Amino acid sequence: MSVSAFFGFLASLTFLVSVMWYTIDVAKGKVVASIVTFFLSFLINLSILISLILKESWGAVPFITVGSVCALGICIISLRNRRFYIATPDKISACGFILGIIAWIIVKDPKANLIVVAITNVIVFLPLAIKTFRYSNTETALPWRINFLASIFLLGTISSPAVASWIVPVQQMAISLPINLGLLIGNKQLPEGN
């Protein structure tokens, strides 16, 4: 097993624990998820998964597969529980997803899609990161700490300077780090009346 494959497996396993914990928190009503964020994350992850496979960059494939399945699960649970919200930047993210597909079609290279949708995926999670700085008690910290550990492991999958090798690990760190910082140093409570 290569070093990249080892870290890919380790990151995927750690991420699975993190996301399953988070999904359970959503199911129990401890966390109110942005349904659009997670649905777009599901679509973007599918797009990234297909692009990685076509570029034959396998290191992050298990990680992205876990992310896709769990994002869809969070959407389904949120709909079933009728506990979700929609944030304004989600519209920007939907446009980014479509632009990634268009770029892929025009350029005829899945790398164009990887770049556009990785940037879009970071934008998708900006409202969540902002929310954690403002009201850190609206998220449970432990799943996000585990997610950060998975993000560190995912950096070990970088096996070349090719975009397909490093784009997903960098994207994941750009998502996880601000959320964890918000949980660590953000305000702890919602203002009264919310």
Q: What is the pLDDT of residues 61-110, one digit of tens each?
A: 998 999 999 999 988 888 887 766 666 667 777 788 888 888 888 988 88
Output the pLDDT for position 138. Answer: 78
Residue 191 has pLDDT above 90, yes or no: no
Choice among 8-17, 20-29, 153-162 with the minimum mean pLDDT: 20-29
Residue 1 has pLDDT above 80, yes or no: no
Output the pLDDT for position 88. Answer: 65
Asked if 57 contacts 162 with a C-beta cutoff of 8 angstroms, the reply is yes
% of the chain with per-residue pLDDT over 90: 34
Residue 157 has pLDDT above 90, yes or no: yes
Output the pLDDT for position 40. Answer: 82
Output the pLDDT for position 151. Answer: 95
- Over residues 178-188, mean pLDDT: 86
Output the pLDDT for position 154. Answer: 94
30-44, 81-95, 137-151: range with highest mean pLDDT: 137-151
Output the pLDDT for position 49. Answer: 92
- Mean per-residue pLDDT of the chain: 86
- Over residues 157-177, mean pLDDT: 93
Q: How many residues does the chain have?
A: 194
Asked if 177 contacts 31 with a C-beta cutoff of 8 angstroms, the reply is no
Q: Which two tokens stand for residue 126?
A: 């900006």
- Residue 161 DSSP code: S
Residue 135 has pLDDT above 80, yes or no: yes
Output the pLDDT for position 189. Answer: 61
Provide the sign of the torsion angle of the four alpha carbons 126, 130, 131, 136, taken in this order.
Answer: positive
Strand-pair partners of 34 = 85
Output the pLDDT for position 10. Answer: 93
CA distances from 93 to 13, 47, 110, 151, 162 (A): 27, 13, 18, 21, 25
Q: Binning pLDDT at 50, 70 and 90, where does residue 32 land?
A: confident
